């Protein structure tokens, strides 16, 4: 059972609004950010070569990431508009963390890797999966200046764990919990979380290894959300996972 009393209460929004809000925020934020950046480019009067050069810079990609995250949270806010902020904040799980949440971070981090290897092993036994497929993370591994690394770190390790946990394990999962048991709510949340990540391959094919990875991660994060009553343990595990990927790709240049 959850440790926080707020988790025993129903969310002010239901499953339908939660699913629609999560899906709309994901797609609309990216489309709106792309549109706004295209307007910016048009006002500059650049040539195609200048546009391509600017788009490949770490700073422009960082601006895009920040814009997407801000728009994502703004869209979610539209779906909870009219509900007192205090209620929204507590229901999502943005409440004071506790020291024992650190134990849950450790348990969740280990549990995620064990669950991922178990699911990927079973899946690969039933249907062989290309584990060498690369995920398009938006940044080139050749970026190695201090400024670029800081930008990439914020874009991959700081922003996504915070925003994605608010949207998926906060808004979506809590909305589903209004009508479903924790396991069902976690499964639906995790499928919806995994689907967009399966589209982020560099070769245009379904990225099954990333889908299984994020599905496994989400199951653990939903458990942490349910168990601790807040998002902080989940955000920490999510950030640690992304930190390992950041170090492997941009510090140690693991291919």
Break the chain into its structural domains and give their ranges: 5-251
Residue 202's pLDDT is what? 65
CA-based nearest residue to 60, from 39, 43, 31, 37: 37
CA distances from 100 to 96, 103, 228 (A): 12, 5, 9
SS3 of 122-185: the string is HHHHHCCCCCCCCECCCCCCCCCCHHHHHHHHHHHHHHHHHHHHHHHHHHHHHHHHCCCCHHHH
Question: 1 pLDDT exceeds 50?
Answer: no
199 or 234, greater pLDDT: 234
Predicted confidence (pLDDT) at residue 255 exceeds the cutoff of 80 = no
Residue 159 near residue 65, CB atoms below 8 Å: yes
pLDDT classification of 128: cutoffs 50, 70, 90: confident
Q: Is the pLDDT of residue 230 over 90?
A: yes
pLDDT digits (tens, 9 = 90+) for 206-218: 888 999 999 999 9
Q: How many residues are recorded in the chain?
A: 255
**pLDDT beyond 80 at 182:** yes
Average pLDDT, the chain: 91
CA-to-CA dists, residue 48 to 11, 54, 95, 161, angstroms: 48, 10, 47, 34
pLDDT band at 138 (very low <50, low <70, confident <90, very high): confident
Identify the pLDDT of residue 213. 95
Q: How far is CA 154 from the centre of its chain?
A: 13
Reported as a single tens digit per residue, the pLDDT across 83-120 is 999 999 999 999 999 999 999 999 999 999 999 999 99
Mean pLDDT computed over 34-62: 91
- Residue 140 region by backbone torsions, left for phi larger than 0, else alpha for psi between -120 and 50, else beta: beta
In 3D, which of 106, 104, 85 has the Cα closest to residue 94?
A: 85
Q: What angle do CA 90, 93, 99 make, to 5 degrees?
A: 115
- 6: pLDDT confidence band, cut at 50, 70 and 90? very low
Please give the share of the chain, as a percent, with pLDDT higher than 70: 93
């Amino acid at each position: 059972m959850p440790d926080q009393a707020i988790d025993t209460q129903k969310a002010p929004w239901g499953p339908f609004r939660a699913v629609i809000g999560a899906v709309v925020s994901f797609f609309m934020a990216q489309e709106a950010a792309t549109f706004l950046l295209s307007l910016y480019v048009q006002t500059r009067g650049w040539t195609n070569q200048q546009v391509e050069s600017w788009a490949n810079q770490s700073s422009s990609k960082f601006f895009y990431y920040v814009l997407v995250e801000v728009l994502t949270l703004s869209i979610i806010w539209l779906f909870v508009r009219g509900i007192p902020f205090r209620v929204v904040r507590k229901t999502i799980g943005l409440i004071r963390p506790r020291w024992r949440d650190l134990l849950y971070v450790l348990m969740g981090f280990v549990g995620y890797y064990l669950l991922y290897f178990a699911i990927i092993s079973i899946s690969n036994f039933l249907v062989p999966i290309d584990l060498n497929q690369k995920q398009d993370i938006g940044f080139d591994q050749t970026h190695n200046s201090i400024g670029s690394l800081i930008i990439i770190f914020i874009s991959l390790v700081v922003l996504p764990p915070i925003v994605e946990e608010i949207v998926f394990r906060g808004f979506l999962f809590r909305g589903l919990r209004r009508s479903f048991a924790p396991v069902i709510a976690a499964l639906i949340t995790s499928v919806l979380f995994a689907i967009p990540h399966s589209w982020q391959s560099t070769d245009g094919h379904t990225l099954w290894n990333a889908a299984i990875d994020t599905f496994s991660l989400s199951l653990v994060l939903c458990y942490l959300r349910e168990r601790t009553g807040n998002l902080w343990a989940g955000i920490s595990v999510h950030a640690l996972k992304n930190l390992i990927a950041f170090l492997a790709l941009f510090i140690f240049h693991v291919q």
